[in-house]
Each structure stands twice: as C-alpha cells, then as structure tokens.
Structure 1
Amino acid sequence: MSEVAIGKRKEKCENCTKQVRLAFPALTAQRSLCFTSKQPVLLSACLSCDRCISDEESQRISQQNLQEIYKVLSLNKRCDASEHKVLAVSVCPQSLPFFSVKFHLDVPQAAQKLCGFLKSLGVHYVFDTTVAAGFSILESQKDFIQRFRRRHHDSNALPMFTSSCPGWIRYAERVLGSLVTPLICTAKSPQQIMGSLVKDFFTQQQKLTPDKVYHVVVAPCFDKKLEAVRDEFYSNLLETQDVDCVLTSGEVLRMMEEKGVLVEDVDSVPLDHVLGEFHEENLVRHEGRSSEGFLEHIFKHAAKELFGLKVEEVVYKTLRNRDFLEVSLERDGETLLHFAAVYGFRNIQTLVHRMRKGRVPYQLVECEGEGGRADKALLQQMEEAYSSLPVRLPEMNPEIQRLYHNWLEGQDSPRAMQALHTQYSQRQSQQLPPDIQW
C-alpha cells in the first residue's frame, strides 16, 4: 500500500449521518464498501469511523511513526537512565525481500545491511520473525485438526477462516459478526506472536520488565498498525503493547534516505536471535503460494494427520478469477479436503453470500483483504528474491521446539494458549443491505 502522511480531520461519510474520524485515511485506500446506504463508501472511511476505533486507539495508531522511534532514540542518549529503553526491531519475512530488491542484494545480505543500519541508529536488537511465523503455522494446523474432528457436533467448527490481514479481521468482527467470528482461527498472527515472544520470553532472558523494551515491527503494509493497537495485545498493568510501533518497509527506507545513508557504506551485521545464542545467520523460508503459505501448510498437515496421505505439491484451481482459488484432496472419487484461497473484498463478499445460503463446501478459507493491487513488477522481484531462500518446515525448526519447552512449558500448556492464541468476537456488527455495492 502506498504511504501517506497520517493526519487527523473530520468529515462526513458520503450518504452517512455518522461523523467519521479519518485518523489514517490510506490504510485501506483502494477498497470500497457500503455499510449504510446504496452508495459505496470507502472502506478506509468505514474502518476509521468512531464505531470501530476509539479515541485512545486512534491516538495509539497516530503514534506509530518515525518520530516516535526518533523520540525513543533521543531519550536513550540522555543521562537519565530511568527513561532509557531497550529498542528491539523485528523484521517480517515479507519485508526482507523488499530490502533485497531495493538494495540490489540477496536476502541474507540485505538483512545484514538493514541490521547494520538500524544498529547504527542505536537499536539494540534486530530479529527476523520467521520463528514467530512458524509458531503461527503450527498452532493453525493444530486448530484445524481439532475443528475438523469435532465438525459433526459443533456448528462453529468449520469452515475455519485464517488470515493475517488486520483489515479483513476488523471487517469480519464489525460487519460479518457471529456469522464468521467463531470460525476464525485462534492462532495469533506472526506479528503478535513475535510481540509475545519479545515482551515475555526475551524480557525474562534480559531480566527486564516488558515496559522497558520498546518493540518495533517492520511490516509490509499500514494495516499491521491496526493490529498492533488491539486491546487484547495491551497490558493495562504495565501500560505497554506487545508491539509498540509498526513501521512499513517504505518508512524504514525513507528513514535511510532522510539520513542520506548509502547502502554500500553500511556495515553488514548479523541478525540477533531471541534465544540469545550466537550462530551463523541462516535465513529460511516457509513453503507456500504466499510468503507464509498457511493454507498449504495446513492442507499438507491435514492430509497426513487425518488421512495418512502425503501431498508433495498443492495444485490450485482458479474459479471466478485469479484471486479466488480452490484446493482439493481426493481419494477413490471422494473429496476428503476442500480449501479455498480468497483475496480481495469482492471475492470475500461472494463467499459470504454463499455462507448465508448455506452453500459453502470448504473446510478452510484463507482470506486477505486485497487482491492484485500491488506493484506487479516489484512483487515479482520480491517473490523471486524470497524463493531463493532454503525451505524449512516449522516442525523441523529446533529453535521452535526449544521455545515450546523453555518458554511455554509444553505445546498444549495453558501458557502456550495464552501466548499463541487469541479470540475474535462480534463488535458492534453492522447489517449489510441486500444491494451492497463494492
């Protein structure tokens, strides 16, 4: 998504009497949706309405910018140590290929340059969030297996919806309500699992309280700022978020440009590891059509766990368009698994209409709010850079297994449920008119 200055103004929604607080008008700038009338209203306006975002939440979103980072860095240079904070930056796997393309380097080299730049500013730790993504995939797989096995006596078991798109999650909570919210996978997104990992495990290792760590996530789009300020990821006791600030990849690049930093002049510094153990940097990726590939991981795991079948390659079938895809597992003419990948709000609307009529054949639906709107050339270059990394299944990651043991006291412990899962529920759901326009 393109970057814009985050301002604050008030105006009326077109054909709507509700006053809108447009705190961040370009979070979802190209989506359009109408909640209240026959005329389309930008979803950016609807998501920014005070029905969805409180004044406190809006304030916290407005603070997620470069100035806040500079502020923390400035405080750390002052004599009053009580104001100092450990600054930790977590970089999403989707962002590293962006820097790879912009720096004209391979992904591991770009990661080291990015780490070197951030540490030159005064950042103490720079992490890669692949471990957090691995946790999210494993917990999503577990959630699906449990839902599938109770599908005959639990109407809210299937289809399971999985999404790391905060815009879609908010849409599901505010508009679709109880039709969808019980069906959303409870595993936290990689961003928020990384938040738990840094503010819980890492702070314990460093003998710090969570409020003494300022945790920044570098993510590919503005929507992730929405997720970071959700109430369930905030500690009232410590007055701290699991993720204090989200910066987009473009904002970090702009920081380099503002400071006149040339990539070739930046030292290459290895990334840090949350376990605190030094070893050679070994960036890996997960399998899948997208950068995390939740659908494919869950599909392969379910085929093996439920039916004893090994799936080597997931083959997608295009339906209405390239942003509405199906995947099926068949045996002896019987369909055992039927998943869908649905991108963009138009396609999600089609799926919801089917759900209202009880005609959804899928056991899992992977949803994202936008489909096909990115810079195609840049996206292609990023995918090529990302695909050059070696693949490692989360199940095979020894770091994850050690964290399950050392941090969470086991894979099915109450501590694991608290750190790795969340709940979604209907929030001031709005009734969609039958003639909704997109």
Structure 2
Amino acid sequence: MAFSGALRLVDLDDFIGPSTECIKPVKVLEGSESASVVRINGGESLPKAQITLNDCLACSGCITSAESVLISKQSDEEMIRVFAANKSKPLDDPSRLVLIVSISPQSAASLATRYDIAAAETTTKLAGLFKHLGADHVFDLSLAIAMSLRESARDFVDRARRSREAAPLPMLASACPGWVCYAEKAHGSHILPHIGTAKSPQQIMGSLVKHHFGRRFGKTPDQIYHVTVMPCYDKKLEASRSDFYDDIYRTRDVDCVVTSLEIEKLIQDQNIDMTRLSSVKPDFLTSNQHGESCYGSGSDGYLEFILHYAAKELYNCPAKELSVKTLRNRDFKEVTVAVDNGDPVVPLKFAIAYGFRNIQTLIQKIKRKRCDYQFVEVMACPSACLNGGGQIRARENETSKDVLAKVETLYGSLGSESEKGKLEAALGEVYDVWLGGEDSETARTLLHTRYHAIERTINPFTVKW
C-alpha cells in the first residue's frame, strides 16, 4: 500500500504485531460473496478506498478522531499544486498566499548523504529550490528547536520543585508524535501526566509563523501556507491534530508536511541537479540573525539540554562527569551525573528510550512504580529522528547502518558556540517582543499543548513486542 509517491510499507522491524483487531472493518453488502473470498483478477471493480492519517499511524484498531486529514493534503504533490496556483496569481491579488517553508536539520543531514554535500550547504540548496518553486520565505528550524528545548527544560525544573502528586516524574519527552499518539491511545491517564507539555519544534515554528511573523505583512493565519520538511511521516499526523487548528481562521499551524524521501522524489521527478542549484541563505524570523543549532542527540538533544539546565537551576552548579550506561541495547541508555554544590552529592538520573520495544519496557517500569529516572527522552524510531521513517533509504551498494552513520556525522557538523550565541539573542527578542515574556499567557498558549486519553478498542494482551 502506498500513502504517497515516496512512502511504502517496507523495512518495518519495530512495530506492533498485526492482529485481527488492527484491521479496519469493511462493510460487506448483502448478497455479495463471502468476506473470506478475495478476488485478485476479474470481477466488479470496487470504489477506491480512502484512508486518513489517523487510520494508519499509531493505529488502535479504528478511527478515533473526527479531525482526520486526507493523506492527499499532506504530500509533495499537494505542495506543488498550491505553489503553482499561487505563483500564477498577480502580486497584488488579495487571495495570493504567503508561502513559507521550514526545514529540519535532520532532513538536511539525510539529503546531504544522498547528494554528497555538507548539511549546512544542503539547507541553502533546499532554500534555493523552494524559492525557485515560489516560496516567499524559507527558514531552518533552529530557533524553534531552541525554544522547544528551553520550554521543556523549564517544564522539568517546575515539576522537580513540586510534589510528585502534582507533577509526576519521570517527565517524558513530547517531541515525537508517534510516541505521543501511542500513549494517548494505549495508556491514557496512566502515562499522559508524565509527558512534557512543550510543543515540538515543528509546532512551535507553526505558531510563530502563523501568529507573529505574518503580522509583518498584514497577513492573517489563513493567508499563510506553511510547509515543513521533516524526517518522519508521523509529523503529518502531528500537524493534523485538532489542538493545532485555529477555529477562528479555519487553518492549521502547519498546512503540509513533506518528508526527506518526498523531497528526493520531487528532485528526481523534476530532473533537478542539486549540485547546480543556487545556494540561498535561509531567512530569519527575527532581526537578530541566528544559525543552525545542534544539541546532542539526533532528536535535538532534549536529555543533554535539560540535564545541564536542571543542574544550574536546581543546584546552581554545572553538570560534570556524565556517566552513560547502555542497558538492554544501544537505544536504551541511562545517563547519570553527580552534581556537587558543596552539599552531599545529588545525582540527576536521566535516560533515553528509542523504539517501541524499549518504550514498552519503560512504561511497565512507570506503571509498577519502579522507575527512578527523572527525565526520559522518548522517541518511537530506533536511533531517534535521524533514522525516521521519512529519511533517505540506503542504495544497493549501501547498508542502512552505513547511511545512518553518515547522517549522524553530517548532523553533528551543524552548529557552533558562536551560532548558539546568536540563537540566544534571537530567543530574547521572541520572548520579550513577540510573546511578552517567558511566563506570559501568550507564551503558555503558543508554546505548550495538551494530550487526550482516547478510548482503547483493542485488547492490550494481543499486542506482541
């Protein structure tokens, strides 16, 4: 089954085992052949089935949300259609949209491996590509990543200072939509209070673009078409959540999500030579120019950032001598640090859990109250976002491990201390000028979200890991 020209059900090695409960029921008309008979050739053709993102991603056996978005609205074909239609309109046409594209560093690193160029250069090449297609502005996600990290760290420190009953620990990372959707559908009130409330970088960028940046041009949110380039198909599901829909303007913070694979397909379909594309520097959301950020792991480095932030805020001293211990496998690690501020040594104990097998182990620890971690960086994909389902596949003469190693190296080349300094200045402008301060109601509304327990329709004892 294909969801778009680039997505195929292949290379699945970390998923819930299929069962009869995972199949969407199909109505059998009275008098028709038995449902157990499948005719491959011949016979009356049936209407083409339509599925939605909520049917197939993190499925719990049925459609569980009324706010479903057809996959055709979340594809490179739809993006090209909107861009072409907009490009044909006169500049003074009031119906002309402002087209904005935001590029994730994980996608830039993945595409860089395909075309053998540096990750930072790939971002400029992609900016040139989208400007050629008609985009008015192209951004990288560095500012949104920095804001998501900061809001997550502030959330953790607030929880650590409160009682366990009011703010349960461990706090679990919230940036992975596949993991969040699974938690909502399979574990509800047992796990949702543990998930941090900070929005992911994609959705923070959507809030900034639609509700603040557009004001520079006198544009309302529905007059802006926002595309993100991401490493994961579940990001399409995240963009379609009702929490990120503006009822007043009837628009989403992110209108279309395209993956690294879909960008590769677009480049192939249009016979574009990436090496000959004009390089264009990404635009800036603020007057303080900022650059690429790269904190720690391939999932933007939530564990590392929050650990250092917490050591400073809670114990007023830097985190030193991090101890990393691999547990079940390379995707389940424990990170501890001894914080010595003159008093007895106080340990901070964090962990990473990537892939659903490790997530299940973590959840069981939490439910049995045997989890002594304070924060866990949780991601649905093994090896995290750099290995997302929408990333570039290995060629015939390559292995998946080889490609991932290259992506990790290129991703690690992004960012520097000087660039992080520029980011701090840009963050100050966004918080102080746009949001009215870090603790303002505007900041809380635009940078945080909530989760919803969804009634489960499958027997959890049939799920195999």
Same fold (TM over 0.5): yes
Instruction: Extract unaligned runs of 5+ from structure 2.
Output: 25-54, 388-399
| In the alignment, structure 1 residue 232 sits paired with structure 2 residue 215 | no
SS at match of 1:243: coil
Match of 2:390 in 1: none
From 159, 163, 172, the counterpart of 2:170: 159
- Write the deviation string for residues 82-132 of structure 1: whole angstroms up to 9, x where unpaired: 442111000011111123222322222222111111111111111001100
1:202 lines up with 2:213 in the alignment: yes
Counterpart contact for 1:325–1:340, Cα < 8 Å: yes
Matches within 5 A, 1:64-143: 64-79=74-89, 81-143=93-155
1:399-414, aligned counterparts within 5 Å?
Answer: 399-414=426-441
Counterpart residue type for residue 302 of structure 1:
A
In structure 1, the partner of 2:39 is none
Aligned length: 412
Report deviation, 1:271: 0.9
Q: Distance in 2 between matches of 1:45 and 1:417?
A: 28
Deviation of residue 291 (structure 1)? 4.4
Cα distance change of structure 1 residues 348 and 278 upon mapping to structure 2, 3 Å threshold = closer
Q: Quick one: structure 1 residues 136 and 173, their matched pair in 2 at CA, closer, same or farther if it must change by over 3 Å? A: same
Matched, 1:50 2:58: no
Q: Residues of 2 paired with 1:372 and 1:164: CA distance?
A: 15
Change (3 A) 1:45 1:396: closer
What is the CA–CA distance in structure 2 between the aligned matches of 1:432 and 1:401, rounded to whole Å? Answer: 49
- Output the amino acid matched with 1:323: D
- CA shift at 1:49, angstroms? 4.2
Tell me the CA shift for residue 334 of structure 1: 5.4
**Contact map agreement 2:291 2:422 (CA 8 A) in 1:** no
TM-score if structure 1 supplies the norm length? 0.86
Tell me the percent identity: 37
In the alignment, what sits opposite 1:424? Answer: 451
Sort the Cα spacing of 1:193 and 1:331 in 2 relative to 1 into closer, same or farther, 3 A: closer
Tell me the equivalent position of 2:3: 6
2:183 to 168, 172, 179: 172
Contact 1:141 1:298 in 2 (8 A): yes
- Contact residue 316 and residue 325 of structure 1 kept, 8 A: yes
Cα distance per residue 1:364-412 (max 9 Å; x no partner): 1111112159422122111111222333458962111111011101110
Q: How does 1:309-348 map to 2 (within 5 A)?
A: 309-312=317-320, 314-330=322-338, 336-348=347-359
Q: CA separation in 2, counterparts of 1:435 and 1:72?
A: 43
Counterpart-to-counterpart distance in 1, 2:372 and 2:10 = 32
1:376 is the counterpart of 2:404 = no
Deviations 1:39-97 (A, max 9, x none): 9989957617433344x5142x3311122112212221334734421110000111111
Distance 1:27 1:367 in 2: 23
Aligned partner of residue 408 in structure 2, secondary structure: helix
Secondary structure, aligned partner of 1:132: helix
How far apart are 1:353 and its partner, in Å? Answer: 1.6
| Deviation string, structure 1 residues 190-247 (Cα, Å, up to 9, x no partner) | 0000000100111111210111110000001111101000001011221110000000
2:28 aligns with none
Other structure's SS at 1:47 match: coil
Equivalent in the alignment of 1:145? 157
Superposed CA RMSD: 2.8
Q: Distance in 2 between matches of 1:313 and 1:221?
A: 33
C-alpha separation between the residues in 1 aligned to 2:322 and 2:143?
Answer: 23
Contact 2:143 2:423 in 1 (8 A): no
- The match for 2:227 is 216
- State the alpha-carbon separation in 2 of the partners of residues 266 and 394 from structure 1: 30
Unaligned runs of 5+ in 1: 8-23
Deviation sequence 1:149-204 (CA, Å, 0-9, x none): 103452x4211111321111001011110011011100000000000010011111
Q: Summarize the Cα distance change of 1:99–1:28 in structure 2 as closer, same or farther, 3 Å threshold.
A: closer
Pairwise CA distance, 1:335? 5.1
CA distance in 2, matches of 1:41, 1:149: 45
Question: Aligned partners of 2:84, 2:451: CA distance in 1, in Å?
Answer: 38
- When residues 416 and 169 of structure 1 are mapped into structure 2, their CA distance, relative to the original with a 3 A threshold, is same
Q: Retained in 2: the 8 A contact 1:338–1:361?
A: yes
| Residue 260 of structure 1: aligned partner | 271
With over 3 angstroms needed to count, the CA separation of the structure-2 counterparts of 1:312 and 1:233, relative to structure 1, is same
Report the TM-score, using the length of structure 2 for normalisation: 0.81
Q: Distance in 2 between matches of 1:178 and 1:278?
A: 42
Q: Secondary structure at the match of 2:426?
A: helix
Structure possessing the higher radius of gyration over alpha carbons: 2
**Paired residues of 1:303 and 1:329 also in contact (CA < 8 A):** no
Trace 1:286-297 onto structure 2 (pairs within 5 A): 286-297=294-305
Aligned residue for 1:437?
464
Which one is further off, 213-222 or 158-167?
158-167
- Does the alignment pair 1:360 with 2:371? yes
Within 2, Cα distance between the matches of 1:402 and 1:65?
34
CA distance in 2, matches of 1:27, 1:278: 43
